[in-house]
């Protein structure tokens, strides 16, 4: 099957995880900072905590507007080369040292890069601005109030990411921020059920009232929660290679994606951090299709979920779904 031409959306991907090693080397050179390792081994980190620390270091190299705009443009080019028709891209301002207190400028610079990419024929992307799990409830509310006042058309959703195991329970802490986000018309998603168990997903549903969950794979450990996702049709943005690389599962054939799909949970295939994982979305579809014996209609159904669960405009969704039906 031709997974490149497959009409699809990418709905769980981090801009911070889209810097190729040569891009990082160029940024480090501009900043006068030595690389921590050789270019070939830049992403050789062990464990989620070390990986997140490396993302902080990388994003800390980005100091100027043109560098941010360039990162956005490069992201859109990457999506184009993967046959992606639309992307919800996660950006967490806490990773970007020089932009912590300049979030409106940061969003404006990213918007410039995405707009230029669209003019060049690349697919549109919208921003999911993310909280870090270690932030306080006051900081979360402050971010939502900023986004609400800004009303930037490029910003479509509020997210939360980071190490669940290290940060502890965060649902109650961010409940008020998410309530205000919903009131302001922002869409809501959250990372849950990866480094935490099913309880992280339950908190995201009960306290954050999310519309979509990033990861969510460990709900497979709780049959009642699986049924709830089916009943409420809460989609999971699953990233199999990321889960396997971090040691959650032994391989594509033992990953719970297929069990969740067969149970009726809306599931989509995504790449999470494609540069360090050396993965593209067509490759990720091929991995899952080969491991689980998917036929064309199954692939079409998974791609359909990526589109319907995305935060794209209704007209764009309808266009993508028409193309998918003809694929």
Active site residues: 194
Long-range contacts of 279-283 (CB under 8 A, 24+ apart): 279/241, 280/81, 280/82, 281/3, 281/8, 281/10, 281/82, 281/83, 281/84, 282/3, 282/4, 282/6, 282/82, 282/83, 283/3
Contacts of 176 (CB under 8 A, 6+ apart): 137, 140, 141
**Closest by alpha carbon to 301, among 253, 264, 251, 259?**
264
SS3 207: coil
Q: Are 78 and 18 in contact (CB under 8 A)?
A: yes
200, 282, 56, 195: CA torsion to nearest 10: 20
Cα distances (angstroms) measured from residue 41 to each of 38, 61, 138, 277:
5, 18, 38, 12
Q: Are 3 and 300 in contact (CB under 8 A)?
A: no
């Amino acid at each position: 099957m031709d997974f490149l031409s497959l009409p699809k959306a990418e709905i769980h991907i981090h801009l911070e995880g889209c810097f190729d090693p040569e891009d990082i080397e160029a940024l480090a050179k501009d900043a006068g900072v030595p690389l921590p390792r050789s270019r070939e081994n830049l992403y050789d980190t062990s464990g989620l905590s070390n990986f997140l620390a490396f993302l902080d270091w990388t994003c800390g190299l980005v100091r100027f507007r043109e560098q941010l705009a360039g990162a956005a443009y490069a992201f859109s080019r990457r999506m184009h080369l993967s046959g992606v028709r639309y992307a919800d891209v996660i950006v967490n301002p806490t990773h970007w040292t020089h932009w912590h207190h300049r979030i409106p400028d940061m969003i404006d610079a990213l918007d410039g890069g995405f707009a230029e990419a669209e003019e060049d024929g690349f697919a549109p992307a919208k921003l999911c601005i993310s909280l870090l799990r270690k932030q306080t409830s006051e900081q979360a509310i402050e971010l939502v109030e900023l986004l609400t006042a800004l009303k930037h058309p490029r910003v479509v959703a509020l997210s939360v990411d980071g190490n669940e195991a290290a940060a502890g329970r965060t649902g109650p802490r961010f409940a008020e921020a998410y309530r205000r986000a919903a009131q302001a018309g922002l869409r809501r998603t959250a990372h849950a059920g990866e480094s935490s168990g099913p309880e992280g997903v339950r908190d995201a549903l009960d306290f954050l009232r999310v519309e979509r969950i990033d990861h969510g794979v460990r709900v497979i450990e709780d049959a009642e929660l699986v049924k709830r996702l089916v009943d409420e049709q809460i989609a999971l943005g699953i990233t199999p290679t990321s889960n396997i690389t971090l040691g959650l599962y032994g391989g594509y054939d033992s990953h719970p994606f297929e069990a969740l799909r067969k149970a009726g949970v809306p599931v989509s295939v995504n790449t999470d951090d494609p540069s360090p994982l050396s993965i593209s979305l067509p490759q990720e579809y091929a991995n899952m299709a080969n491991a689980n014996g998917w036929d064309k209609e199954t692939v079409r159904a998974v791609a359909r979920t990526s589109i319907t669960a995305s935060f794209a405009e209704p007209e764009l969704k309808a266009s993508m779904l028409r193309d998918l039906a003809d694929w």
